[in-house]
Structure 1
Amino acid sequence: MFIAYAVVGILLAAALTFSAAATFTRQEKVVGSMSALGVPDTWFPRLATLKALGAVGLLAGLWVPLIGAAAAIGVILYFIGAAITHLRAKDYAIAPVVVLGLLGVAALVLRLASA
């Protein structure tokens, strides 16, 4: 189970790192999408920080199971919020949000199973 957690955790951490970097550097595609959903510009640094911390926590979870589980829970909650934001804005193209949220669930289950 640990190897499965390592694979899922590293892949999810990579996706979160890419997304956080794109948000921090205000890449047009990411910022435009978030702005269209009604996310205030002042939230961008906070949201990017949360994604970056999730990535760091998932990687730290390779050595400290509790941190990995906590990070996975945080990632799940983040993407639940993202899904709600999409739905409230009547944007139903939420497949990436759902996939990343489910990867968070998989990371949590695998981290708990391998502890």
Structure 2
Amino acid sequence: MHAAFVVVTVLGVLFNGAAAVTYLIGHEYPKSQADMKGIPRKYVPVLGTLLAAGTVGLAAGFVVPILGTLAASGLVLYFVGAIIAHLRVGSRNIVGGIVFLATAVAALVLGLL
């Protein structure tokens, strides 16, 4: 079970870390996604910061397990919100959000076990 936890958590760190960098460097994709969802572009760096905090928290969870649990919980909430934001505007392009959500849920559940 520990090996599954390590693999899922490392994947979560890689996925969310890459997404955080994309948001924080000002890449066009997060900006266009914000526009599509009706979210002001000034919140894109905030969303990137939340992803970065989740990434750091997941990684820190290897040393301080409660931090990993809290980070995974926060990422679950983040991606539930992201999927809802997509559905709210009629977008059905939610596969990526579901993959990120599944990774966060798996890290949370395996971390609790």
Q: TM-score range by the shorter chain?
A: over 0.9
Using the size of structure 2 for normalisation, the TM-score is 0.95
2:12 is paired with a residue whose SS is helix
**2:62 match: secondary structure:** coil
Deviation readout 1:23-73 (Å, 9 max, x if unpaired)? 111111222122211111111111100000000000011111111111110
Q: 1:17 & 1:31 partners in 2: Cα distance?
A: 17
Cα RMSD over matched residues? 1.0
Q: Scaled by the length of structure 1, what TM-score is found?
A: 0.93
Q: For structure 1, which segment, 53-62 or 5-14, has the greater mean C-alpha deviation from structure 2 after superposition?
A: 5-14
CA distance in 2, matches of 1:29, 1:50: 17
Q: Does 1:58 align with 2:70?
A: no
What count of residue pairs does the alignment treat as equivalent? 113
**Counterpart in 2 of 1:75?**
75
Matched residues in 1 for 2:61 and 2:80: separation? Answer: 21
Which moved further from structure 2: 25-34 or 76-85?
25-34
Q: In structure 1, what residue type is equivalent to 2:35?
A: S
4-13 vs 80-89, which deviates more? 4-13
Gaps of 5+ in 2: none
The CA deviation at 1:8 is 0.7
Cα contact 2:30–2:44 (8 A) shared by 1:
no
Deviations along 1:67-111, one digit per CA (max 9) or x if unpaired, are: 111111000000010011001111011011011101111000110
Distance 1:82 1:21 in 2: 17
* Structure 1 segments of 4+ aligned residues over 4 angstroms from their partners: none
